[in-house]
Amino acid sequence: MTQESVQLLNHFYLILNQKTGLVLTRNQHGNLKSRLLKLFHEFSINEESLESVLSENPAAYEKILEEVLINESYFFRNEDHFRVLREIIFPVFADKSSFSKEKSLRALSVGCSTGQEPLSILMAFYESPAYKSAGDFHVDAIDLSKQAIVTALKADYNRMQCRGLTSVLKEKYFKPSGTGTLKPDAGLLEKISYVHSNILNHELFEGVYDLIFARNTLIYFDDVNSERVKQKLIRALKPGGYLFLGESEIGWGLGERVQPMKFNQSIIYRKR
Ligand SMILES: C[S@@+](CC[C@H](N)C(=O)[O-])C[C@H]1O[C@@H](n2cnc3c(N)ncnc32)[C@H](O)[C@@H]1O
């Protein structure tokens, strides 16, 4: 790689960080650099024009941002989380009357990507023995990638996007669309509200969520922003609510307001 390309990329990382809070250095993978350079070429971006193109050409900015965001997700990713949800957390909520026919539960999926995570949370709910005594359940889901939100709203999953789904769950909650793809039942989709937003600037009310999933998303932040987001998520949890993080995101920046709980291989945080 030429010295100019290195400089151009470093300049881009700086602007991206200022615009979104994202940090790339820890997460650069595979051939991201060459894909970015290809896009810079497509939009005739050089050192001099970089700043103006990113601020004056929204289509170019969006295409480049999408290249950076890794929307990798699959159903029941970290199966242990969903088993704990189904077999332990929902029954505990039911015992404590956190939900009843009158009260509803609310979850948040941060970095929901193309929808597999919020759909898995909902299926874990319906598969839980506690469901029978439960009231309504709603999942708010946000992602910085517009493309991921468009795919989530389309909710038409091909074979690759369906990985993690058992044939029993496919049969129970999905319908074939006729072109080899599967569509979740409307009853599931109407329980999810998708929003295109950056969690760093996204306003969350205090104490409204019973469950927050923020898995494999905080890796995009530097330590300062990661801690800011973690504190924001903890504030948004109800006392007694649970926070699920990705395996590489646990362990620090959470403070005294949550208690780590070990379930098998997974650590899940309960707000005191
Ligand atoms: C690797 S995916 C993880 C998806 C899902 N949580 C899972 O664990 O399967 C990370 C997602 O976080 C989203 N993301 C990254 N930074 C974000 C931010 N600042 N606000 C909201 N979403 C963000 C990305 O667009 C991507 O869809």
Instruction: State the span(s) of the chain assigned CATH 3.40.50.150.
Output: 79-271
The answer to whether the beta carbons of residues 72 and 108 sit under 8 Å apart is no
Question: Whose alpha carbon is nearest atom 7 of ligand 1?
Answer: 73
Q: Which residue of 113, 202, 228, 229 sits with most ligand 1 atoms within 8 Å of its CB, as the best mutation to test the pocket? A: 113
Question: Whose alpha carbon is nearest atom 14 of ligand 1?
Answer: 111
What is the per-residue pLDDT for 27? 53
With the C-alpha atoms ordered 221, 222, 225, 228, is the resulting torsion angle positive or negative?
positive
Which phi and psi angles does 237 have, rounded to 5°? -80, 150
Ligand 1 lined by 145 (C-beta under 6 Å): yes
What is the per-residue pLDDT for 156? 96
Annotate 86-104 with b (16+ C-beta within 10 A) or e (fewer): bbbbbbebbeeebbeeeee
What is the per-residue pLDDT for 47? 95
What is the per-residue pLDDT for 152? 98
Q: At what angle do helices 3-20 and 32-42 cross, to 10 degrees?
A: 90
Using DSSP's 3-state secondary structure scheme, residue 16 falls into: helix
Ligand 1 centroid–CA 267 distance in Å is 20
What is the per-residue pLDDT for 25? 65
Q: Which two tokens stand for residue 134?
A: 């439960």
pLDDT digits (tens), the chain, 272 positions: 899 999 999 999 999 999 999 998 655 666 889 999 999 999 999 999 999 999 999 999 999 999 999 889 999 999 999 999 999 999 988 877 666 666 789 999 999 999 999 999 999 999 998 887 777 899 999 999 999 999 999 999 999 999 999 999 999 999 998 888 999 999 999 999 999 999 999 999 999 999 999 999 998 898 899 999 999 999 999 999 999 999 888 766 688 899 999 988 889 999 99
The answer to whether the beta carbons of residues 53 and 239 sit under 8 Å apart is no
Ligand 1 lined by 73 (C-beta under 6 Å): yes
What is the per-residue pLDDT for 211? 97
Options 3.40.50.150, 3.20.20.140, 1.20.120.1200, 3.40.50.720; which CATH number does 79-271 get?
Answer: 3.40.50.150
Question: Whose alpha carbon is nearest atom 13 of ligand 1?
Answer: 111
Ligand 1 centroid–CA 259 distance in Å is 24
Report which residue type is found at 17.
N
Question: Whose alpha carbon is nearest atom 10 of ligand 1?
Answer: 217
> Which atom of ligand 1 is the closest one to the Cα of 77?
9
What is the per-residue pLDDT for 94? 84
What is the per-residue pLDDT for 89? 93
Ligand 1 lined by 243 (C-beta under 6 Å): no
- The residue behind tokens 């997460």 is 27
